[in-house]
Structure 1
């Protein structure tokens, strides 16, 4: 059974992969469309690739005519990856905000100023050293890296790791989260990890098509993890691939 901790680690570990994938040319990921839809998507992608290559060739010719244009050429942006990152980050940061508001204790306050009415130099020195210790303690608590902050580094991987620490009961400036809070984290983490895995095509998936086989059996399409989809009839056992008959 996949745990909340596994989901949170998946997000943190693959966030860099999402950044890299966002700038790569579009990959063909048509799982869930059925093989007929998949083949149609391939044809469309081929046409789009030819159009892109035509524009790229024209762009290169323009650079040859204008030698002052130097530097890296723009990389096609994959908008669905960026959308995934935006949604996942917003969900995780909001979840961390809510959990921190309920479970994280307030920072230790700075010591208040005291009137200098010491009777001896020794009393003054002791009071000064005590105040310095309390100042250092307050500063250390305010800047504790285990403390969730509402400004600054509010990224998806940072939120995932902070929530992971709460789920694993790691010591920090927080009380133990309740069962309800843990369930909330689990729900958000599962949804976010699913989006990340589908965006990167690193999760095995199975869908059942609405159309049934000629024998009356259900048709399951298996794919994901970078593999091309394969359809299988649960009734007669027939198998379809993109190289054979379309299953939908």
Structure 2
């Protein structure tokens, strides 16, 4: 199903779902897509299931992977968070360098420390206003500050603002920049929703694992739906409970 959400909405959804990813990090699951439980009913893949599950359990419980932790973590969720955060931060850095206006420059240092005439006082007042304006511009919270707050949530929300064309010390994104940001947003959200099992998923098994009739087996599920498999040749259907129809 086509995702009709705008890039800005997709980026906002990433920010909303990020705490759920953090929670899922310390609650590891051993499923993958296609689901291990369903694939267990496909005889050609039973052995692979056992090997895959054992390997994943060993990795998730190995303290050498990510340092010692009081509880095992989900490497699947960890890898998703690391990849998505890196993509968002890199995109924010690149877009900021391209579209963000440099901060206003404050006036040069004054030669005199005191104003002796009304004219000099007016000059000093104007200089003070320009200094304050430059300070506010440099500290504008709408700016992307690479040295501060480098988190996935902040990057997603900042990029959402650029995708929406919100006002600030920026120019509008070009068509090329909009297209690039749209690809990043869709890809990142897809990975997040997949890690949390929120996305519709559909995949064909490899040619090495056909149905008994020789047809290709297609699996689909996710987004709260129970995973099922269907042979595109004979129409046989499998669920976690076994063969539904043949």
TM-score of the superposed pair, with normalisation by structure 2: 0.79
User: If you compute each CA radius of gyration, which structure gives the higher value, 1 or 2?
Assistant: 1
Structure 1 residue 224 corresponds to structure 2 residue 222: yes
Q: What is the CA distance between 1:120 and its match in structure 2?
A: 4.7
- Residue 86 of structure 1 is matched in structure 2 by 82
- 2:178 equivalent in structure 1: 182
The change in CA–CA distance for 1:194 and 1:220 in structure 2 (over 3 A counts) is same
Rounded to whole Å, the distance in 2 between the matches of 1:226 and 1:38 is: 24
For 1:159, the equivalent position in structure 2 comes to: 155
Q: Return the alpha-carbon distance in structure 2 between the equivalents of residues 145 and 202 of structure 1.
A: 32
* Equivalent residue in structure 2 for 1:24, among 22, 27, 39: 27
SS across alignment from 1:231: strand
Q: Which shifted more, 13-22 or 206-215? A: 206-215
Partners of 2:167 and 2:50 in 1: CA distance = 51
- Cα distance, 1:114 vs. partner? 2.5
State the Cα distance separating 1:216 from its structure 2 match.
5.1
Cα distance between partner residues in 1 of 2:136 and 2:52: 58
Q: Which residue number in structure 1 is paired with residue 65 of structure 2?
A: none
Q: Provide the rounded CA distance (Å) in 2 between the counterparts of 1:236 and 1:158.
A: 50
Q: Indicate the RMSD between aligned Cα atoms, in angstroms.
A: 3.1
CA drift at 1:124 = 2.5
Aligned: 1:5 with 2:1: no
Determine if contact 1:35/1:241 at 8 Å carries over to the other structure. Answer: no
Instruction: Work out whether 1:233 is the aligned partner of 2:225.
Output: no
In structure 2, what is the equivalent of residue 208 of structure 1?
A: 204
CA contact 2:202–2:221 (8 Å) conserved in 1: yes
Q: Does the residue aligned with 1:230 lie in a helix, a strand or coil?
A: strand
Aligned mates of 1:197, 1:14 — CA distance in 2: 8
Q: Who is 2:64 aligned against?
A: none
Is the 2:105–2:134 Cα contact (8 Å) retained in structure 1? yes
Aligned counterparts of 1:160 and 1:119: Cα–Cα separation in 2: 48
Deviation at 1:238, TM superposition (A): 2.6
Say which structure, 1 or 2, has more relative contact order (CA 8 Å, 6+ apart).
1
Instruction: Tell me how far apart the structure 1 counterparts of residues 223 and 50 of structure 2 sit (CA, whole Å).
Output: 18
TM-score by length of 1: 0.78
Q: Which runs of 5+ in 1 are unaligned?
A: 53-72
Change (3 A) 1:124 1:180: same
Q: Distance in 2 between matches of 1:2 and 1:217?
A: 35
Q: 1:76 aligned to 2:72?
A: yes
**Preserved CA contact (<8 Å) 2:115 2:121:** no
Report the Cα offset of residue 187 of structure 1: 1.5
Over 3 Å counting, the alpha-carbon distance change for 1:119 and 1:21 in structure 2 is closer
User: Whole-Å Cα distance in 2 between the matches of residues 2 and 35 of structure 1?
Assistant: 32
Q: 2:63 matched to which residue of 1?
A: none
